[in-house]
Amino acid sequence: MTKEGQSTLSIEKCLIPLPPAERSALLQNPGFGRAFSDHMVTIRYTEGKGWHDGKVEARANLPLDPSTMVLHYAQEIFEGLKAYRLPQGGAALFRPDANARRFANSARRLAMAPLPDELFLESVHALVSEDRDWIPEAEGSALYLRPFMIATEAALGVKPASEYLYCVIASPVGSYFKAGAAGVTLWVSENYIRAAPGGTGDAKCGGNYAASLAAQAEAIRQGCDQVVFLDAVERKYVEELGGMNVFFVFEDGSIQTPPLTGTILPGITRDSLITLARDMGITVREEAYSIDQWRADAASGRLTEAFACGTAAVVTPIGKVKGSSFEATIGTGGAGEVTTRLKAALLDIQNGRAEDKHGWLQRVF
C-alpha cells in the first residue's frame, strides 16, 4: 500500500465464520452494538513510512503492549456510519465521504496522522462488501460501521505517537432507543459540561464521551433517558446531548439548532436534516438557544416539538426536559408533525426508497 492509499486492501477470509443459522438468528433482533460481523479492517501507520499493511481480516483481539500510548494519553478517535439494504437489491452507505472528512479533522485535533479520505472510503466499502450477509433486512435496521484509530507506539512520554492503528468493525443494529416513537426525557446537567472553547468538542474522540458518562449516569438516576449539556462559559445555552445534536421546532413552523462554534460535534445527520428541511421550504436557524428560553417556550406553546439526531438514534423526538427545579413537556410529549416528516424523508433516502437528489448514497454492491 502506498502512502497515498491508492492500492487495494488485501483480503484474508475468516476461517471460522459464524454459521448462517446463528447469524440469521442474531439478525432477527440484533439490538444495538452487541453483535459483530466476521471481519474487520486494519491499516497501520508508521512515521516515515506512512500508511501500510492494509487488510480485511478475521475479527480478532488486538495485542497491545502495556505501555501503548493510547492507554495512557488517550490519542483515540472514531466514527459511526451505516450501510443499508436497498429495495432493488444490494446495499449502500450514507454519506461516508462526510465521515471521512470529519475523521481526518478529528485526527488533526488529536495530533494524530490523518487517514486519507480515499483510504477511509476504501476500507468501509471493503468491509461492507465482505460482510454483506450481516446487513439486516428488518425496517429500521442497518449494518453499523465503527472506524477508529488509536496510538500504538509503546512508550511513556507525553507527545504525539509515531505509530497508529486504524480499524473498522461492523455490527448489525436495530433501534437505538427502546421507546420507539415515544418522546425521550432529557436531564439538564448543572454539575458537568461536555466541552469548552478551545477543547475537543468538535472532534469525535473517546475522551468527550468518557467525560459525559457521569452526567449520563446522573440523568438515569433522575429517571431520564439522556443528558443535555449547557455551554461552559455562561452555563445557559443548550449545546448537545451526550451523543446527539438537538433541534427545536416552533409554532410558526421554523426550526432552530445550536450553532457550530467549536464545542459541538458537527453531526452528519444534523447537516442532512438542515438540508432536507430547507428543501421542504422550512426556515432553519443555527442560533444559540438558552435553557430559560426553552422552558418559557415550552410553557407558552411557542415550542411545539424538539428532537435529537445522530447516526445511531437517527431522529428521536424529545418529550420532556427536566432540571433540578423544573420539568417541562414539549408539545404533546411525542413525535410532532415536523419531526415525523423529517425522519421519514431521511429514512426514505437512506433506505433507497426516495430520490437521492444530493448524491448522499454510495452503492457498495
CB-based contact 345:273 (threshold 8 Å): no
**How many Cα atoms occupy the beta-carbon half-sphere of 212 within 13 Å?**
25
In the structure grid, which three cell numbers stand for residue 62, read together? 488486538
As a whole number of angstroms, the distance between CA 319 and CA 317 comes to 6
CB-based contact 301:251 (threshold 8 Å): yes
Distance in angstroms between the alpha carbons of the first and the last residue of the chain: 23
Spell out the residues 6+ positions from residue 306 whose beta carbon is closer than 8 angstroms to its own.
Answer: 246, 247, 248, 249, 317, 318, 321, 330, 331
Catalytic entry in 82, 204, 320, 343: 204
13 annotated active-site: no
CB-based contact 316:244 (threshold 8 Å): yes
Task: Write out the catalytic residue numbers.
Answer: 204
